[in-house]
Amino acid sequence: MEPISSALKRQIVVPSFQERYDTIRREILENEEVQRFLAENDRIVNKEMVERSLPKLHEFISQSSVCCNCGSTENCTNYLKGFIPKLFISQNAIDVEYVKCEQKVIEDERRDIESMISSMYMSKDVLRARLKDLSLDNDSRIEVAELATAFVEKTKQTGKLPSKGLYIYGKFGVGKSFVLGAIANELATIKIKSVLVFVPEFLSEMKHSISDNTFQGKIDYVKNAPVLMLDDLGAETLSSWTRDEVLGTILHYRMAEELPTFITSNFDYDGLESHLATSQKGDVEVVKAARIMERIKAITIPIQMGGNNRRQ
């Protein structure tokens, strides 16, 4: 009977170190992104530098070099969760640095905002929203998508934010908040921060901020946001103070500074003006409501969003 050791030697063929090295080297040098990097730096890179840098190049190709849009950095498969590798030349060698991916940028900005404004609330579907995911099953939704896309694309092309946002109104549950989240996430990919607040909770938070001396800091943070998004304006119970000293202050500043503001509401312009005119005490203040609406009309483009209630 043949000894088992002899049988194993005969059946198991272990590649030599040189064979394994050559296979990995070929895999590295045939990688499209590595080839692109070498071509872009052909005046600097030489054969010796490439050979010396093979371990770093292998580290680079072993990971995703673009954001995988996994919805959460906790699901990231890269060596450093939320970071993607980039090649660069340092001290006559090719090296790897790590930069935040799009998802990491979004999550970090969201944490920064939440540390200042607790009423910054986005549901899970809104957290992951992208404009390409918006259902286009009627003309109004197509128009909303076109306006939102135009805003983002103009920002990308010019490097400047348009001065006007959108006033998206429609029935409960048609996806207005989803659009805000999608725009915020698209802007985050070009490192532009959006502050999205749920208005009813925000106004309640502002009342309580007076007692802990954080009112002015919160007002300044919101009114100076690169892009401000006020979700569900009109669903709150208003007092004259929250209307004039909170909403009025923020909207006046953003109008004066031409800062883009997005608003969602169940009311159209006229319905919101009627809502703003009546305080929780039953007082009707038409002039003050008209003043708020003047500011809203100056900084937004109204668009109705229709469709079925997607929360049912």
> Using one digit for the tens of pLDDT, what is the confidence trace for 150-192?
999 999 999 999 999 999 999 988 999 999 989 988 888 888 8
Confidence of residue 128 (pLDDT cuts 50, 70, 90): confident
Q: Which domains does the chain have, with CATH numbers?
A: 16-100 (no CATH), 104-304 (3.40.50.300)
pLDDT over threshold 60, residue 117: no
Could you give the CA distance from residue 93 to residue 90 in angstroms, rounded to a whole number? 5
pLDDT of residue 6: 54
Q: What is the per-residue pLDDT for 310?
A: 66
Q: How far is CA 146 from CA 109, 194, 305, in A?
A: 26, 19, 12
So what's the pLDDT on residue 13? 55
Q: What pLDDT does residue 233 have?
A: 94
Quick check: 119 pLDDT over 70? no
Is the pLDDT score of 64 beyond 60? yes
- Neighbour tally for 44: CB within 10 Å: 11
Cβ contacts of 158 within 8 Å, gap of 6 or more:
none
CB atoms inside a 10 Å sphere around CB 85: 20
Helix or strand holding residue 60 (H, E): helix 54-61
Does the pLDDT of residue 108 top 70, yes or no?
Answer: yes
Rounded to whole angstroms, the Cα distance separating 300 from 124 reads: 26
φ/ψ (deg, to 5) at 266: -80, -15
pLDDT at 220 over 90: yes
Count the neighbouring beta carbons within 10 Å of the beta carbon of residue 151.
23
| All residues at 6 or more sequence positions from 122 whose CB lies less than 8 Å from its CB, including other chains | 110, 177, 181, 196
Q: Which of 39-43's residues contact partners 24+ apart within 8 Å by CB, and which partners?
A: 41/89
